[in-house]
Amino acid sequence: MDADITLRVDGVEHRLTVDTRTTVLDALRERLGITSPKKGCDHGQCGACTVLLEGRRVNSCLMPAVAHDGADLRTADGLADGEPHPVQRGFVEHDAFQCGYCTPGQVVSAVAAVDELHAGEPSAVTDRGADLAEEIRERMSGNICRCGAYANIVRAVEEAVTR
Ligand code: FES
Ligand code: FES
C-alpha cells in the first residue's frame, strides 16, 4: 500500500509517494538521493542513520516515513550555515574520523548532545558527578565507530561544547 507524504529536509520540502513500510532512512537515501544519513545496521544499533527530527536526534532507520508526514528533518548536510557548523569544524580540526562512514551520524548526534549539555539536561552519568569527557562518552554512546576514532570524537565534541 502506498501513501503520499511530505518531508522537509534541510529546509527543502519534498513530496513523495512511499510504500507504507518505507523508513525515513530509505525515503531519504533511496527516494530523495540524500545520502549523508548512512545505513549501518538498519536496526537502531549503530547511529549511522542519525538525523534531527524537530531538533531532537533520532535513528531514521527505525522511523516509518508515513508516521512522520510533514516532519522537519535536518541531516549533516544541512548543518552548515554558510560556513561549517562548530561541531563539523571540531571534527575536522581534531581528525575525528578515519573512513568517515559513521561521521554524518556522529556529527548530527554531537550537535544534539551539545544542545542537551547547554540546556542542562541530565544524562545517566550526571548524578555521579561525571566530567565533560564522561558526559560526552555517555551521550554519544549510541553512535558506533568501527574505526575506533572515539578519542578524537570526544575531543571534537568537547571543543564544540566550549565554543
Ligand atoms: Fe540506523 Fe544503525 S542504521 S541505527
Ligand atoms: Fe570509520 Fe567511524 S570513521 S566507522
How many whole angstroms from 37 Cα to the centroid of ligand 1? 9
Q: Where are the beta strands (DSSP E) in 20-147?
A: 50-53, 56-59, 72-74
Q: What is the pLDDT of residues 21-53, one digit of tens each?
A: 999 999 999 999 999 999 999 999 999 999 999
Residue type, 150: Y
CB 50 within 8 A of CB 60: yes
Q: HEC profile for 116-139? A: HHHCCCCCCCHHHCCCHHHHHHHH
> Residue whose CA is closest, atom 4 of ligand 1?
44
The dihedral sign for the CA sequence 122, 127, 132, 137: negative
Q: Clarify whether residues 72 and 94 are in a common domain.
A: no
Domain that holds residue 56: 2-77
Return d(Cα 157, Cα 7) in angstroms, integer. Answer: 29
CB 112 within 8 A of CB 52: yes
Q: Clarify whether residues 12 and 68 are in a common domain.
A: yes
Domain of 143, CATH number, reads 1.10.150.120
How many whole angstroms from 144 Cα to the centroid of ligand 2? 8
* Count of structural domains within the chain: 2
Domain of 43, CATH number, reads 3.10.20.30
104 lines ligand 1 (CB under 6 A): no
Q: Clarify whether residues 36 and 73 are in a common domain.
A: yes
Q: Clarify whether residues 14 and 50 are in a common domain.
A: yes
Q: Which of 115, 114, 152, 155 is closest to 133 using CA atoms?
A: 155
State residue 163's pLDDT score: 79
Q: Clarify whether residues 95 and 153 are in a common domain.
A: yes
Mean pLDDT by 10 residues, the chain (163 residues): 97 97 98 98 98 96 98 96 93 97 98 96 95 97 97 96 87
Q: Clarify whether residues 64 and 94 are in a common domain.
A: no
Return d(Cα 70, Cα 73) in angstroms, integer. Answer: 9
State residue 81's pLDDT score: 86
17 sits in which H/E element: strand 12-19
* Residues listed for the chain: 163
